[in-house]
Structure 1
């Protein structure tokens, strides 16, 4: 059985006017079907600002990369910034 890689990204919208639910859907749709989004959390930061935390899984393979995930995040309209919070190899 092959191993998988777990990634957790924190994504910030470019402004408080960005609808985080629509942003969440847009990101999930762009990542699918290649990357598996297990969970998305909405984090209240303050002053109306919300961040999204994406829990993503992918096979450990040359065909998949965190660089590609980041390219996808950069390409989604409404994304102001993001950071990789967690990266780990999973094997069962």
Structure 2
């Protein structure tokens, strides 16, 4: 089975939210077969930064990336999350 790499942008509730802790909390909630590969930050406005997570997951997943967006959005400190990119890994 092929995996995909999902780029998930996570918007914090405010500029006082620790993005490293947020990434750890999201990573701990990932289902089996999912793996946090990389994390970055991206400036939004007025000192507020978004967390950009690169998550490897199975391609044939029930619910697709909606499940991932919902899971991340339910973590404390997250305003909302959205998938901004997806690419296939392997051949």
Listed as ranges, the gaps of 5+ residues in structure 1 are none
RMSD: 1.9
Counterparts of 1:46 and 1:74 in 2: how far apart (Å)?
Answer: 20
Could you tell me how far 1:34 is from its partner in structure 2? 3.5
TM-score, normalised by the number of residues in structure 2: 0.83
Q: How does 1:1-92 map to 2 (within 5 A)?
A: 2-31=1-30, 33-63=32-62, 65-92=64-91
Q: Distance in 1 between matches of 2:30 and 2:61?
A: 17
Stretches (4+) displaced over 3 A: none
Q: What TM-score do you get using the length of structure 1 for normalisation? A: 0.83
In 2, Cα distance between the equivalents of 1:46 and 1:70? 22
CA contact (8 A) 2:3 2:57 kept: yes
Contiguous gaps of at least 5 residues in structure 2: none
